[in-house]
Amino acid sequence: REAKCITKFYDDKFVVENLTNGTTASISYGRIRKVAEDERYVFLLLDTRVISPVDKTDFIGGTAESFMPFITAKAVNTKRGGGDKPDNALG
């Protein structure tokens, strides 16, 4: 069964709320190691090798286009963080 999640982005962290099982995870941007995207998702690869997908079609109060500069600036520990264009593959 696919988990339904809501992800909220703040100045210092993002929070993933799993609506399926009721859990919540607060994650600092410093844990993001790679940002990648395809046509539908932005993928945030964390230091624990966990991938947090963000659906580009579900933004409220912003757009996928405005999200990319935001997340790459926040994810300063990525290979291409700090404002560079993210990779388009996770490999």
Residue range 38-69, pLDDT digits in tens: 999 999 999 888 888 999 999 988 898 999 99
pTM for this prediction: 0.74
- How does residue 3 score in pLDDT terms, banded at 50, 70 and 90? confident
- Is a pLDDT exceeding 90 seen at residue 90? no
Pairwise CA distance, residues 22 & 20, whole Å:
6
* Contact yes or no for 16/62 (Cβ under 8 A): no
Band of pLDDT at residue 1, cut at 50, 70 and 90: low
Confidence check: pLDDT of 25 > 90? yes
Residue of 17 and 78 predicted with greater confidence: 17
Residue 76 has pLDDT above 70, yes or no: yes
